[in-house]
Amino acid sequence: MIDLLILAEKASAAKHMAKAFGGTTGRMAGKTYKIVHAHGHLMAFKDPDKMVTTAAAKQRYSSWTDMQTMPWDQADFSWAKTYTKAYNAYTKKSKSTRADITAIKAEAANAQAILMATDNDPSGEGDLLGWEIINAIKWHKPVYRIRFADETPKSLNKALHQMVAITDQFKQGEYLKSDARSKWDFLSMQLTRISTYAARQAGYRVKVINQGRLKSVIVLKIWQQQQLIDNYVKTPYFEAKFKDPAGHIFARELKTDAQKQAARFADEKSGQTATARYTKSPVTNIKRVRKTQAPGALLDLAKLGSLLARQGFNPKEVLATYQKMYEAEIVSYPRTEDRKITQEQYNELLPVVDSIAAVIGVDQRLLTHRTLRSKHCASAAAHGANRPGIKVPQSLTELAKYGPSAQAIYKTLAANYLAILGEDYEFDRVTAQLQLYPTFKTGFNVPVKLNYKAIFDDAEQVLAKTKPLSTVVGPEAVPFMYQGANPKPTRPSADWIGKFLEKHNIGTGATRLSVQAQLTSGKNAFINEKRGFYTLTQPGTIAAVLVRDTWIGSPQITKQLFDHMDAVGQLNESPAVVVNSATKVVAHDLPLILNNSQALAQFVGKPAPTRTTKKYKAKPKVKGQYCDGQTVEFNATWSGHKFSAEERRKLLQGATITFEATSKYGKTYTATGALKQQTYKGKQFWGFKAAFGK
C-alpha cells in the first residue's frame, strides 16, 4: 500500500515530477508515492442518443432532419461519459483509452489517496479531466490537489507543500466551470445538424456543415471580410502636403471624419486649388529624442504558425513537426496558453542560451541582458511561452528529420527567445514642423543601436523595401498635391484570424491553431490556405452564409460564456444557468439558419442539379395487406421481373411463387421465393426474397 497515487496530465509532466521527487515511486515529505499519468482527457460524453433511455428519446436525439426535435432538453441527458479513441501518430492507429483507465484503476487499488496533479489551466480543464478519471475508476477515497506554477523541480516541490483536500467535486469551482463549458459546447452540436439540414433543404449536396463558437466565428469573419473586399470601391482623394529636399512628408494629422472632409478633395481640380494656396515654408522646431524599446512578447503556437505560414508552411504540418520536436525535448510544450515565462523557467534555460545562439547563428555578444524583464515574467506559467528546450541540437541540419518546417520552427522560436536576452532597441525620434503652417508635421525614427532587433525583429514584415531617407530634415519644404485613396480591406490570413480570436479571447492557444488546421484540411475543408492567406471553399461559404446574424457566429457568445463560467468558478452562479444558455442560442439561431438558407443561391450559386442515376431513382411500389393483417409496401419489380396482379395477390397471401428473372448481366434464370420482412443497412423493409439454391 502506498500513501499517494500522483495523477499527472501527460507523460512529460510525469517525467518532470519523477525528476523533482526523486523517481516514479518513492518517499517524499514522509509519504510513499507513485506517479501515473493520463494523456489529456481519457473520457468524453457519449453520443446524444446514448445519453437517454426511452426509445422515443433515442429517436429524437439521433435525428439530423427533424427540426421539431430541437432545441434539445438537457434535462433528458444523463451526461454519461465513455472511453475515447486516442490517435497515435506513429502507429497511425486509434486505440481506446479503456486500457489507460484500467491501468490507473489497478494502481489506485494500492493507494490510500489520489493526488490530482493535472495542469492548472485557467479554464479548469485539468480539474475536469482529473475528475473524469477519478469518477471512471469509481474512486471514493480521499482526493488531494496540487497546483504548480511550472514544471521545474523547485516549483513542483513547492506545490507539494501546498496540497489541499478536494474530496467533493461538486463544490469545486474549477471543475464546475469546465464541466459547464463542456456541456455548453456539446449542446452546440445541434447547430451543425441544423446547418447541414438547411443546406440540403436548399438543394446543396453537402457533407456536414460544421458550426461551433470557434468554427462559425472564423468562417463568418472570413466571409464578411471577403464581402468587404469584393464590394471595395477605390475612392481617390487629393490633399495638400509638403515635402523637403530629402523627401520627408509634412502633413496635417487628420483624426476625425470632419477633419478629413475639410482637407481631402474628391476631384483633382479642387485638390490643386487647395494646394496652390500654400507656399514654400522653412522647417522649424526640429527635435531629436533618444528612445528605447524592449523586446516584444514571446510566441505562442498560433503566432508561430502565422509567422511560418509566410514562409509557406501550413498549420497542420507545423503542429505535427513541433510535436515531434517537443517529444525530443528540443522545444518546449506546444499547447501552452502562456506568452510569458516564470523566473524558474528563465533560470533553467540560461546556461544553454549561448549554445542556442551558436546553432542559429546569432552573435553571442548580443546576449548581455541576463535578467528577466517584468514584461516577460509571470508568477505562474504552467508550461511557459513556446521557446527552445534545454536540449540543444548540434546543428540546424540535424533537425530536418522532424519535418519540413523543423529548421524554420527552431530558428524562429530560438531567435524570438534570445531577443529577450538582448538590450533594448535604441532609436532617435525625429520630429519637425513648418514655420508658416505649424499644423503640418513630420516624424520618423532613426535606428541608433539595433540590439535585440539584430536577433529577432518583430516588426520585420512592416518594413518597406524602399531605401531609407536621409535623416537630415529641411531646411525648407514645398507644397505638393498628394493623391491617396481609402484603404483596401486586408486579405484574410492566418495571422489576421489569430489576432481576431485572441482579441475576443475565443479558443485557447492550442485550439486556435488546431481548429484552423482542421478547417483548412480534408475533403470537406471550409478554407483554402495559400501562404497564410485564406479564401472560403464552397462548403465554407455555405457555413458562413447560414450563420449570418446568428449568435453562434458572434464573438460575443464566447465572451458571455466565459463571463458566466467565471461566476460558476466563484460559486456565484449555478452551472445549469450556463448550460441553459446554449439551449437559448440554439432556439434563437435555428429559425435564422433555416431562413439564411434562402440566401445561399445568391452567394454560392445555384446548387448542382440532383443526379438521376439508377441508384437514386425511386422504384415503383406495390401496397397491400399481408396475410397477418398489417399493411406492407414492396417493390413492384424484382430482378427485371414485374409482378403480375396474380403474383402480387399470392405474395400478400404469404405464398411462394416462381417466375423468370433477368440478372443484371442480361441472363435469364428461374427464381423461387416469397414476400419477407428484411433488413438492409439497419433499416427494415418488405420485399421479395428468393430462396436460392432450389
Partner DNA sequence: GCAAGGTC
Q: Which residues bind DNA (CB under 7 A)?
A: 9-12, 39-42, 44-45, 47-49, 64-65, 84, 86-89, 119, 121, 123, 125, 129, 181-182, 185-186, 188-190, 192-193, 196, 207-208, 210-216, 319, 323, 335, 337, 507-508, 510-511, 514-515
Measured from the CB atom, the residue of 91 and 279 that comes closer to DNA is 91
**CA 17, CA 146: separation in Å to the nearest integer?**
12
**CA 47, CA 86: separation in Å to the nearest integer?**
17
Cβ atoms of 556 and 549 within 8 Å: the answer is: no
Least separation, in Å, of the C-beta of 552 and DNA? 8
Measured from the CB atom, the residue of 18 and 249 that comes closer to DNA is 18
Measured from the CB atom, the residue of 20 and 214 that comes closer to DNA is 214
Least separation, in Å, of the C-beta of 90 and DNA? 7
* CA dihedral over 131, 132, 133, 136, signed as positive or negative: positive
Least separation, in Å, of the C-beta of 89 and DNA? 5
Residue 366 in 3-state DSSP?
helix
DSSP string across 344-356: HHHHHHGGGHHHH
Residue in 513, 506, 121 with CA at minimum distance from that of residue 337: 121
Question: What burial class does residue 436 get, using C-beta atoms within 10 Å of its C-beta: 0-12 exposed, 13-18 middle, 19+ buried?
Answer: middle
- The residues facing 674 across adjacent strands are 689
Least separation, in Å, of the C-beta of 391 and DNA? 17
Residue 447 in 3-state DSSP?
strand
Q: Which residues, at least 6 apart from 666, have a Cβ–Cβ distance to it below 8 Å? A: none
R_g of the chain computed on alpha carbons: 33
Phi-psi bin for 185: left (phi > 0), alpha (psi -120 to 50), beta? Answer: alpha
Type of residue numbered 78: S
Measured from the CB atom, the residue of 58 and 491 that comes closer to DNA is 58
- The residues facing 37 across adjacent strands are 8
Least separation, in Å, of the C-beta of 327 and DNA? 7
Measured from the CB atom, the residue of 103 and 446 that comes closer to DNA is 103
Least separation, in Å, of the C-beta of 99 and DNA? 14
Measured from the CB atom, the residue of 350 and 576 that comes closer to DNA is 576
Measured from the CB atom, the residue of 130 and 271 that comes closer to DNA is 130
Cβ atoms of 626 and 636 within 8 Å: the answer is: no
Cβ atoms of 415 and 455 within 8 Å: the answer is: yes
Measured from the CB atom, the residue of 555 and 624 that comes closer to DNA is 555
Measured from the CB atom, the residue of 442 and 508 that comes closer to DNA is 508
Least separation, in Å, of the C-beta of 63 and DNA? 8
Measured from the CB atom, the residue of 211 and 442 that comes closer to DNA is 211
Question: In 114-256, where does DSSP find H-type helix?
Answer: 125-136, 153-160, 173-187, 190-201, 215-230
**CA 490, CA 494: separation in Å to the nearest integer?**
12
Type of residue numbered 357: A
Phi-psi bin for 692: left (phi > 0), alpha (psi -120 to 50), beta? Answer: beta
CA distances from 547 to 212, 448, 536, 550, 621 (A): 10, 51, 14, 5, 40
Q: Which residues, at least 6 apart from 108, have a Cβ–Cβ distance to it below 8 Å? A: 5, 114, 137, 139
**CA 13, CA 117: separation in Å to the nearest integer?**
9
Least separation, in Å, of the C-beta of 600 and DNA? 16
**CA 147, CA 145: separation in Å to the nearest integer?**
7
* Grid cell locating 599: 440566401
Type of residue numbered 586: V
Least separation, in Å, of the C-beta of 671 and DNA? 35
Q: Is the peptide bond before 71 cis (omega within 30 degrees of 0)?
A: yes
Measured from the CB atom, the residue of 147 and 241 that comes closer to DNA is 147
Max Cα-Cα span within the chain = 112
Measured from the CB atom, the residue of 7 and 357 that comes closer to DNA is 7
Measured from the CB atom, the residue of 181 and 648 that comes closer to DNA is 181
Least separation, in Å, of the C-beta of 215 and DNA? 4
Measured from the CB atom, the residue of 215 and 339 that comes closer to DNA is 215
Least separation, in Å, of the C-beta of 565 and DNA? 10
Q: How many CA atoms lie within 13 A of 84 on its CB side?
A: 15
The angle, 0 to 180 degrees and rounded to 10, between the axes of the packed helices 301-309 and 494-503 is: 160
Cβ atoms of 69 and 98 within 8 Å: the answer is: no
Least separation, in Å, of the C-beta of 658 and DNA? 40
Least separation, in Å, of the C-beta of 261 and DNA? 42
Measured from the CB atom, the residue of 134 and 360 that comes closer to DNA is 134
Least separation, in Å, of the C-beta of 10 and DNA? 3
Least separation, in Å, of the C-beta of 514 and DNA? 6
Q: Determine which helix (DSSP H) or strand (DSSP E) holds 292, and give its type and residue range.
A: strand 281-293
